[in-house]
């Protein structure tokens, strides 16, 4: 399988706490993307980080990328109940046009 791995599989936190999700991937990448999926819905693109970038911010989201370890992390600060969802990383391969997803992290934010 070309799928990467995400850690943890599930995460439960209190509202206001920070949530960190990790992603490991297998190939050389052009970029790495993070998506959110609310239950029973389609995926929504959150943020994209290119292979020559190390950190990127968007609102309460912070993404880091370590290409030497083939890993990325997504930090959601000051979480809200509305952040409850599944979060997926996806690697856009350096060569070729495939976007390959990890298995995802289920985040539950308790109010």
Partner 1 sequence: NAGVTQTPKFQVLKTGQSMTLQCAQDMNHEYMSWYRQDPGMGLRLIHYSVGAGITDQGEVPNGYNVSRSTTEDFPLRLLSAAPSQTSVYFCASTADRGFGYTFGSGTRLTVV
Residues binding partner 1 (CB under 8 A)? 1-3, 30-31, 33, 35, 41-46, 48, 50, 88, 90, 92, 97-104
Let me know: does 53 contact 62? Beta carbons within 8 Å: no
Cβ proximity to partner 1: between 3 and 18 the closer is 3
- Paired sense of beta strands 19-24 and 5-7, if any: antiparallel
Cα–Cα distance between 11 and 50 in angstroms, integer? 26
Give the residue with the Cβ less far from partner 1, 88 or 109.
88
> 68 Cβ partners below 8 Å, 6+ apart?
none
CB of 28 to partner 1, least distance (A): 14
Is the distance from CB of 21 to CB of 104 less than 8 angstroms?
no
Map tokens 């370590």 to a residue: 66
Q: By C-beta, is 21 or 104 nearer to partner 1?
A: 104
For strand 61-66 and strand 55-58, is the pairing parallel, antiparallel, or unpaired?
antiparallel
Identity of the residue, 49 or 109, whose beta carbon is nearer to partner 1 in the bound complex = 49
Query: From the CB of 96, what's the least distance to partner 1, in Å?
Result: 8
Instruction: Tell the smallest beta-carbon distance from residue 91 to partner 1 (Å).
Output: 11
Q: How far is the CB of 37 from partner 1 (least distance, A)?
A: 9
């Amino acid at each position: 399988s070309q799928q990467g791995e995400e850690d943890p599989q599930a995460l439960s936190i209190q509202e206001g706490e920070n949530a960190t999700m990790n992603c490991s991937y297998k190939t050389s990448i052009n970029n790495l993307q993070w998506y959110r999926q609310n239950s029973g819905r389609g995926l929504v693109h959150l943020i994209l980080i290119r292979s020559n970038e190390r950190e990127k911010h968007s609102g309460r989201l912070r993404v880091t990328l370590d290409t030497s370890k083939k890993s990325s992390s997504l930090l959601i600060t000051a979480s809200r109940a509305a952040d409850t969802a599944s979060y997926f990383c996806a690697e856009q391969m350096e060569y070729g046009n495939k976007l390959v997803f990890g298995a995802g992290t289920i985040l539950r934010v308790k109010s």
